[in-house]
Amino acid sequence: MSAQRTEESWQVRAACRGPQAAVFFPPPQFERKDEKLERESRAKVICAGCSVRQPCLDYAVAIREPHGIWGGLNENERRQLLASELS
User: At residue 8, does pLDDT exceed 80?
Assistant: no
What is the C-alpha to C-alpha distance for residues 42 and 23, in angstroms, rounded to an integer? 7
Q: pLDDT per residue over 17-72, tens digit each?
A: 988 899 999 999 999 999 999 999 999 999 999 999 999 999 999 999 999 999 99
Whether residue 84 has pLDDT greater than 90: no
What letters, b where the CB count within 10 A reaches 16 and e where it falls short, cover 50-78?
bebbebbbebbbeeebeebbbbbbbbebb
Q: Is residue 5 very low, low, confident or very high in pLDDT (cuts 50, 70, 90)?
A: low
pTM of the model: 0.85
- Cα gap 46→16, rounded to integer Å: 7
- Of 36, 45, 39, 41, nearest to 22 by C-alpha is 39
Residue ranges of the binding site:
16, 47, 50, 56
Please give the annotated binding residues for [4Fe-4S] cluster, written as ranges: 16, 47, 50, 56
Residue predicted with more confidence, 72 or 7: 72
